[in-house]
Structure 1
Amino acid sequence: MASTEQRLSALREYLKTLSAGQTTFIVEGGGEFHTSKDPFAYLLEHGAYTPDGRRIVLYPHPIEGIDALSLSFYQMIDEAIEAGKLELPELESDEP
């Protein structure tokens, strides 16, 4: 079994890989792609592809214990990734 020092070292290395304020997507093959943009903005601008052409397949997010509005947002992100891009519907308004 790993010693406490080894576990702490592994945890420190893992924490170094986490970038505060960055969005992490999972790409085909299981790799990670990090961007400074939030998931909504990134998908709206670039679609479900990284700058080097890799396909984004997942945006890791919680699925339990979250409010309905957040769940709806995450579902929209999941649908955009599945479709390959984020498209917003045309705005509608009432007649004046």
Structure 2
Amino acid sequence: MASTKERLAALRSYLETLSADKTTFIVEGGREFYTDKDPVTYLLEHGAYTPDGRRIVLYPHPVEGVDALSLSFYQLIDEAIEAGKLELPEPGSDEL
């Protein structure tokens, strides 16, 4: 059986991963992957892959009680994960 010190160390390690300023993705196999970057920045820079090559399969987010703008944002992230990368279109404007 693990000693109290070992159990506390494991708990501290786990609590560090729950930091509110980190983005959580789920990778193949169901494990969590954490990054300091927001989901859009991470997907733009790295695509739907972790630094060690694991495939990101999900960005956990609420689906009920979400305003339309937030829902659209989450859908953008979901589509990028499904496609394997996030590509934003070139900005454009209407003709004057």
TM-score over 0.5 for the pair: yes
Pair 1:89 & 2:89 matched: yes
**SS, match of residue 76 in structure 1:** helix
Q: Which residue of 2 aligns with 1:54?
A: 54
Gaps of 5+ in 1: 1-12
Look up the match of 1:43.
43
In structure 2, stretches of 5+ residues that fail to align are: 1-10
Structural RMSD (CA) = 1.6
Shift in Å, 1:45: 0.7
User: SS in structure 2 opposite 1:43?
Assistant: helix
- The CA distance in 2 between the partners of 1:50 and 1:74, in whole Å, is 19
- Partner amino acid, structure 1, of 2:57: V
Indicate the percent of aligned positions where both proteins have the same amino acid: 81
Displacement after TM superposition at 1:91 (Å): 1.7
Q: TM-score, normalised by structure 1?
A: 0.81
Instruction: Read off the aligned partner of 1:28 and give its amino acid letter.
Output: E
Task: Count residues in correspondence.
Answer: 84
Match of 1:23 in 2: 23
Superposed structure 1 runs of 4+ greater than 2 Å apart: none
Corresponding letter in the other structure for 1:69: L
Deviations 1:64-84 (A, max 9, x none): 001000000000000000000
Q: What letter matches 1:52 in structure 2? A: D
How far 1:95 moved relative to its partner? 2.7
2:88 alignment partner AA: L
**1:43 deviation in Å?**
0.3
